[in-house]
Amino acid sequence: MRTRRIHITGPSGAGVTSLGRALASALVVPHHDTDDYYWQPTNPPFQEKRDVPDRLRLMRELFLERDGWVLSGSLGDWANSITPYFDLVIYLYVVPEIRLQRLREREAKHFGEDAVAPGGWRHQETEEFIEWASHYELSDREGRNSRRHQEWLAQLSCPVLRLNGAQLLAALVGEAETHLVKIAEDR
């Protein structure tokens, strides 16, 4: 049986999770998201980081050794020990204007339009998140940024497929599936 272990990454708002879910469904493999391992479950979410050894332990216990899965989200140097599992990494990108609009829409859908509007209980956190995300291409902030992503991608030993996240989801899934067939033929 050939393995299909795929990691999809890119800036916030590029469509990484959407493509991850759609590709996992098309390949009939489980989908995992890095946020589920990076963050402790809290309410509201994304408040407390999980220790690196615990993140990696959970990932190993739940899916890494299996033959097929899609992992969406951002990994950094903390996850270098798991990169040998990857058969393919997909880097999704999209212009900043589209990304930031998607993020605003996602925040409103997740927390409610009133919550993220001025005066809403989630407004300040939303604006801080959008401000942070707006610096991705500039790479002038700590955390996830374009320079760090490109450096991380350059050190991978597996193929890297770069896709424009502004395309229709079905087209992105089709391109990924085509690339997986090519990888299997080359082996």
For the segment 35-53, what is each residue's pLDDT rounded down to a tens digit?
Answer: 999 999 988 778 899 999 9
- 30/43 Cα distance (integer angstroms): 25
DSSP 87-126: SEEEEEE--HHHHHHHHHHHHHHHH-HHHHSTTSTTHHHH
> Looking at per-residue confidence, does 86 or 43 come out higher?
86
- 187/159 Cα distance (integer angstroms): 12
Question: How much is the average pLDDT of 72-98?
Answer: 94
State residue 138's pLDDT score: 93
State residue 11's pLDDT score: 95
Say yes or no to pLDDT of 144 above 90. no
pLDDT digits (tens, 9 = 90+) for 1-27: 356 999 999 999 999 999 999 999 999
- 147/139 Cα distance (integer angstroms): 6
State residue 1's pLDDT score: 39
119: phi > 0 → left, psi -120 to 50 → alpha, else beta; which?
A: left
Amino acid (1-letter code) at residue 6: I
Amino acid (1-letter code) at residue 186: D
Residues in the chain: 187
The angle at the Cα of 35, spanning 18 to 115, to the nearest 5 degrees, equals 75
Domains of the chain: 4-95+144-186 (3.40.50.300)
Backbone angles phi, psi at 48, to 5 degrees: -135, 120
Considering the chain, what is the average pLDDT of its residues?
Answer: 93
State residue 141's pLDDT score: 84
Please give the share of the chain, as a percent, with pLDDT higher than 90: 86
State residue 44's pLDDT score: 76
